[in-house]
Amino acid sequence: MEVKIGVQHAPREIVLESGQSAEEVERAVADALGGKAPLLSLVDDHGRKVLVPSDRLAYVEIGEPTVRKVGFSATL
């Protein structure tokens, strides 16, 4: 699923594709904003970890789960 993270005082948002569920991402964001964790920590599809200081979070947008398509299609 696509996750977009807005960071205060940063000109660009962070965009990553994560294999985590929407509930897992939401729980991580809630923990970071609630003071339970000093960092928002998410893992992308390639196994890279993205860490954002929780006091710098502007917003987090959680997208729809992406469906992996296999093969070729000729849809018009």
What CATH number is associated with residue 41? 2.30.30
Q: Which long-range contacts (CB under 8 A, 24 or more apart) does 18-22 make?
A: 18/42, 18/43, 18/44, 18/45, 19/43, 19/44, 19/45, 21/65, 22/62, 22/65
Domain of 7? 2-62
Count structural domains, the chain. 1
Q: Quick one: pLDDT band at residue 42, thresholds 50, 70, 90?
A: very high
Amino acid at 75: T
- The stretch 12-30 carries a mean pLDDT of 93
The answer to the question of residue 17 being in a domain is yes
pLDDT at 73 over 80: no
In a domain, 73, yes or no: no
Q: Note whether 60 and 5 are within 8 A (CB).
A: yes
On whether residue 70 sits in a domain, the answer given is no
Q: What predicted TM-score, i.e. pTM, was given to this entire model? A: 0.78
Contacts of residue 61, defined as CB under 8 A and 6 or more positions apart, other chains included, come to 3, 4, 5, 6
Q: What is the pLDDT of residue 64?
A: 78
